[in-house]
Structure 1
């Protein structure tokens, strides 16, 4: 049996600002934007090529303060291109960092160990890791 992670709720203070950031700056696809009842809105967005989406909204999860989600991670095949795209779109992003050592020889020294970091407007923290080939 497969167990797939398909949705992560990201707590935000301003749904429109978050939707704009994730769709326009990060390039996530807007899957739907639904108001269930007054005060309860769900916006689902998916990174290109991902099987997992994020949900931002109003009245979605009251126990998670905006900006409290840490450690979300995206994976890309080329960290230099990903960083250039984020900078071009106006995202404040860290320099590329190498964390650790590759467990096996690889053609690109950043594979598995290359990372960059950014936060959304509420302070939810994201990492981006380069993995172009898997063992």
Structure 2
């Protein structure tokens, strides 16, 4: 059997704002942006160098989904952006205006710092030891 994680849905308030942040600010690759009709789109982005895994950016549809924006993991860090050069990416992200909640810290598993996307989702930037 051969299986892999293909995509994780990230509920966002607006497709274009999410694309602007992930594809422009973070330099993720815009893999797909397909109009599905009725205001819906199939939008996938992925960090450079990623295999098949991606984020599926899904515009909130209704009050329940809108309420989940930025809190899809109950306030926990729910997303982990692995890097091969923590200092390079931390500096670039900071210069691009990404909000880090803390200074980088060294843990037994690697160097890490928590940041938020503009929609409130908590991420780790992490370089494993």
Considering the TM-score relative to the shorter chain, is it more than 0.5? yes
Offset of residue 62 of structure 1: 8.3
Gaps of 5+ in 1: 102-111
Do residues 45 (structure 1) and 36 (structure 2) align? no
Aligned counterparts of 1:63 and 1:56: Cα–Cα separation in 2: 17
- Given that 2:12 and 2:60 are in contact with CA atoms closer than 8 Å, whether structure 1 keeps it comes out as no
Contact 1:11–1:61, Cα closer than 8 Å, also in 2: no
Matches within 5 A, 1:4-43: 4-43=4-43
Which residue of 104, 111, 119 corresponds with 1:96?
104
Identify the structure with the greater helix proportion: 2
Which of 66, 88, 91 in structure 2 is aligned with 1:81? 88
Aligned length: 121
When normalised by structure 1's length, the TM-score is 0.78
Asked if the contact 1:41/1:60 (under 8 Å) is kept, the reply is no
Higher strand proportion = 2
Q: Distance in 2 between matches of 1:83 and 1:18?
A: 20
Asked if structure 2 preserves the Cα contact closer than 8 Å seen for 1:69 and 1:125, the reply is no
Structure 2: tracts of 5 or more residues without a match: none
Structure 2: how far apart are the matches of 1:8 and 1:61?
20
Deviation at 1:96, TM superposition (A): 0.6
**Distance (whole Å) between structure 2 residues aligned to residue 61 and residue 49 of structure 1:** 34
